[in-house]
Amino acid sequence: MADSKRFIDNGDSTITDTKKNLMWTKTDSMIELKKWVNYQDSVDWVRVLNENEYVGYSDWRLPTRDEMSGLYDESFSNSDKFGKLIHISDVFTKGCGFSVIAKMIDGRFRTWVLNLRDGEYTNPDGLWTLTEAARAVRTIVEND
């Protein structure tokens, strides 16, 4: 059962994960860019967030596999861009992609992708041919 107080809407287009001490973007690349992204597109999207100091921060990044695993909980109910059920908190904006790209695995030319419909992970080949969505995250530091 999901903790209803785990994800807090900060009212500034970000969501705080109180369990993992993370700040997530409320929307994802699908909502912001209105298209699926490959790995390089997702890295570029996060770079632009940092260059523009999105909501006052310049340390946005793609999540690790462990970080993005905290987004998924079968008891959560939200809807993706197709109106299908995805299992992330309803504090995140509806209409997002049904997948999340993680940062590249250290020392490997691969990444993880989490399917928010079923909680399954894939480790696909072809980072440049992926058609997924990205969600940026940052670690909350003291004085935030």
On the question of pLDDT at 88 being above 90, the answer is yes
**Cβ partners under 8 Å of residue 70, min gap 6:** 17, 19, 20, 22
Give the CA radius of gyration of the chain.
14
DSSP 134: -
Query: Residue 14, exposed/middle/buried by CB under 10 A (0-12, 13-18, 19+)?
Result: buried
CA–CA gap between residue 101 and residue 115 (Å, rounded): 9
Half-sphere exposure of residue 1: CA atoms within 13 angstroms, side-chain side: 2
Residue 107's pLDDT band (cuts 50, 70, 90): low
- Average confidence score pLDDT of the chain: 92
On the question of pLDDT at 129 being above 80, the answer is no
Residue 95's pLDDT band (cuts 50, 70, 90): very high
Residue 33's pLDDT band (cuts 50, 70, 90): very high
On the question of pLDDT at 134 being above 80, the answer is yes
Q: Any long-range contacts for 53-56 (C-beta under 8 Å, 24+ apart)?
A: 54/13, 54/25, 54/136, 55/12, 55/13, 55/14
DSSP 116: T
pLDDT of residue 6: 94
CA–CA gap between residue 37 and residue 100 (Å, rounded): 10
Closest among 2, 56, 1 to 25, alpha carbons compared: 56
On the question of pLDDT at 141 being above 70, the answer is yes
**What is the reported pTM?**
0.91
